[in-house]
Amino acid sequence: MSAAFPLYGHVAQEDRFLAARASGRLHHGWIFQGPSGIGKSIFARRIAGLMLGAESPAASSDDKTMQLVLSGGHPDLKWVERGLNDKGKLRQDITVEQIRELNQFFTLRPAMAGWRVGVIDALDEMNVSGMNALLKTLEEPPNNALLILISHSAQPILPTIRSRCQVLRLYSISVEDTKTVLSAHEGNSDLAMDLAPGRPGYGLELSQTAGAKAVQSARALLRNVRKPTGGVVSAALTSVLVDEGSLNAFTDTLLGWVAEKADADPVLSQTWLKMHQVRATADELNLTPLQTATKLFSVLQDGVKAVSA
C-alpha cells in the first residue's frame, strides 16, 4: 500500500533526521530549506506523522495517525501558513498573532501522542516581528516539542533563528522522480517539466498561471542579456505585472541562471547576492513589481558587464 505522503528524493535528508531521532538527542528546531516545489511540505508531514505516533514516515493512509495528519485534525499538530484577510484574500504574510498562537500551542500538554509538533510553512512569508516572536519558543523549548520551519530560501533567515535550529538542505529532485510526480497530476506535465526542472510542484503552479509567460519572457531576456532589444526588455519587465507569482517566476529564472553561470565565473556570485538582496528588501522599500524587476535586471547587466570586462 502506498504511503500517505509519498516522497520522491530527499532520502539522505530523511535518514539524517531519523538518525538524530534514534540517538535520543533530537534537536527541538529544524529548518527544512530548499527551492519551492520539491516536496518540503510533504517531507514535513511525514516527519510530523512519525513524531506523533505513525509506524514510519512512509506509513499508509490506513495508519490512524496519518489519517489525522491528512485531515488536518491531529490535536498535537499545528500547521501555520498564510491565512485569509477580512476581504477573503490571502494575506501578504504570516501574522504575529499566528506565531503567538503557535507559542501558546507549545505550552499545552500533548493530547494524544506525547509530542507536540508545529510547522511554519513558510519562513519566507513571515515578517521580522513574527520571526522575533518565534524566538520565545526556540529559546525556551518545552519538553517533547518539535518545531519545523520550511524555508524556500527566497528571504534571509534571521541569524538568531538559524543559530537555534538544525538545517536540513533539500535539493531539486531527479528527472525520473519529477516525471513520476507529474504523471499523477492533471495538466501539461511537459510544460511543467520545462518551466521548473526538478521542481514538480513549482512547475505545475507555473504551468497553470501567468508565471509561465514570465519564465518564458525572462528566458528570452537572458538569451540576449548582453545586447537585449527594447522589445525583449519591455516584454520581460511587463510580464511581472500580472500577479505576485509572475514576479517570483521572473526572479527565480534570473537567479537560477546567475547561480548556474557563477559556477564557472565566481564574479557572478556577487551579482547573485546583490539580486537576492533586491528581492529580500523589495517589500521594505515598497517597490512595485515593475521597479523590482527593473532593479534586478540592472544588477544582472552590471554583473554581465563585469564578466566581459
Residue-wise over 203-233: b if at least 16 C-beta within 10 A, else e?
bbbbbeebbbbbbbbbebbbeebeebeeebb
For the chain, what is the mean pLDDT?
A: 92
Residue 81: what pLDDT? 96
What angle (nearest 5°) sits at the alpha carbon of residue 281, between those of residues 309 and 90? 130
Tens of pLDDT along 239-276?
Answer: 999 887 899 899 989 998 998 888 788 888 899 889 98
Please check the confidence at residue 234 and state whether its pLDDT lies above 90. Answer: yes
Please answer whether residues 172 and 198 qualify as being in contact, where contact means their C-beta atoms are separated by less than 8 angstroms: yes
What is the share, in percent, of the chain residues with pLDDT greater than 90?
A: 71
Domain ranges, ordered by start, for the chain: 11-169, 209-308
Of 196, 205, 148, the closest CA to residue 173 belongs to: 196
Looking at 63-127, list the stretches that DSSP marks H as alpha helix, in order from N- to C-terminal side.
Answer: 64-71, 96-105
Distance, C-alpha 258 to centroid of its chain: 19
Residue 264: what pLDDT? 81
Residues 107-113: what's their mean pLDDT? 92
Distance, C-alpha 163 to centroid of its chain: 19
Q: Does domain 11-169 have CATH number 3.30.70.100?
A: no
Tens of pLDDT along 154-200?
Answer: 677 889 999 999 999 999 999 999 999 999 887 788 999 999 999 99
Mean pLDDT check: name the lowest of 27-36, 141-150, 299-308. 299-308
Cell 495508519, residue?
A: 63
Residue 309: what pLDDT? 65
Tens of pLDDT along 120-140?
Answer: 999 988 888 899 999 989 999
